Amino acid sequence: MWSCFRLPKDRVEEEEERHFLKNGGLLLEEMIKSFDGRPNPIRSFSQKELQRATNNYHQDGFLHQHWSYQMYKGTYEDRPIWVKKFPANALWGYITELYINEVAVASQMSKHKNVLKLLGCCLETQVPTLVYEFAANGRLSDHIYEDELSPSYLSWESRLRIATEIADAVAYLHNGTSKPIIHRAIKPQNIFLDQHNVAKLSEFGLSISIPLGETHVDVEVGQTPVDVEVVSGTYSFIALESALTLRYSEKSDVYSFGVVLFEILTGEMATNIVWDVPDGMETILRFFIEDNENEYLKTKIVRGNTEQLMACAELALRCVKRNWEERPSMIEAAKELRRITRFQR
């Protein structure tokens, strides 16, 4: 009866409502399926709110470009935020897997202090938009490759603490829910630092859960629209068994963490080194540990407590073992890093 008195909707509003219903329905369905119907409260932002917050996505607030999204700085209710904007022409399969996966996992992980907190999302846009807490010091990759004279250079004490925080976050990912979740994209570009240089793990769009009762999950070739990103975009950080067979387990993330630890130790990008060594990361790290009088080591490893540095190198070596069964769990790695932190100067 009352429908005859309803004012005609603006075409833009109808389009926004259509996107909201479509995106929201899929989001809710995926969350219920993935997390057993547990409540998953995140804030719903309107398209106009995010346009105001980012000054209509002005270039002045642009932070960085990824192959699948753009990140902008914004201000909402007098607080800084980050807005992740996906391209409008993204494939629907891409949205279903990458975006909804990001929301489903990140919202569950956000209570951990070392995970970049997902504040909410906007479902009114053609491709949903995500809103995150602000991490003032940007990506870890913006800092660890700098030399000691750079104002953004991280001391060894800070690097060791950050490595421990990352290990804690990944360990929580593996053990904090009913089914272990494999990140699949652990690298310095996906780790952020807040104003106090506290590490924040992010980018859960590629994450995948291990079925109950299983120790791994097999991803069929071509099964997902982002398999290429998993294999090529993070190649230096991918365990051999995962790169060759697309089989992922908790030990796949352990390998990736070992490569991150190597980069934290040396300030060098693994991509620039691994191609020069036939046997890969394991040989590189063994060289660092066994030949510690070598000039290469002296010039490439960061300055700090020698005992801590060598212990971290040994841990990294264990993490990148070719045989995945020889790698520690992330809980064990985190415990070892806390033990190393207690070493006397």
Any idea which residue has 């504040």 for tokens?
Answer: 119
Q: Give the per-residue pLDDT at 221.
A: 58
pLDDT over 80 (residue 76): yes
Helix (H) or strand (E) holding 132: strand 129-133
Residue 269: which pLDDT band, with cuts at 50, 70 and 90? confident
Q: Which residue stretches of 217-300 are H helix?
A: 227-228, 240-245, 250-266, 270-274, 281-290, 295-300
Residue 7: which pLDDT band, with cuts at 50, 70 and 90? very low
Residue 273: which pLDDT band, with cuts at 50, 70 and 90? low
Q: Give the per-residue pLDDT at 198.
A: 97
pLDDT over 50 (residue 232): no
Residue 100: which pLDDT band, with cuts at 50, 70 and 90? confident
Q: Give the per-residue pLDDT at 18.
A: 73
pLDDT in tens, 158-210: 999 999 999 999 999 999 888 899 999 999 999 999 999 999 999 998 888 88
Q: Give the per-residue pLDDT at 114.
A: 97
Task: Report residue 70: phi and psi, to 5°.
Answer: -125, 145
Phi-psi category of residue 160: left, alpha or beta, with phi > 0 → left and psi -120 to 50 → alpha:
alpha
Q: Give the per-residue pLDDT at 99.
A: 77
Which is higher by pLDDT, 190 or 304?
190
List, in order of start, the domains of the chain with CATH numbers: 9-133 (3.30.200.20), 140-341 (1.10.510.10)
Residue 4: which pLDDT band, with cuts at 50, 70 and 90? very low
Strand partners for 65 = 70
> Mean of the pLDDT values across residues 15-27?
69
Residue 112: which pLDDT band, with cuts at 50, 70 and 90? very high
Q: Percent of the chain beyond pLDDT 70?
A: 74
Which is higher by pLDDT, 310 or 36?
310
In angstroms, the Cα distances linking 203 to 27, 66, 139, 323 are 17, 11, 12, 27
Which is higher by pLDDT, 335 or 278?
335
**Entry pTM:** 0.85
Half-sphere exposure of 180 (CA within 13 A, CB side): 22
Q: Give the per-residue pLDDT at 218.
A: 77
Range of lowest pLDDT (2-16, 196-210, 226-240) = 2-16
Contacts within 8 Å (CB) and 24+ apart, 85-90:
85/57, 85/129, 86/127, 86/128, 86/129, 87/127, 88/125, 88/126, 88/127, 90/127
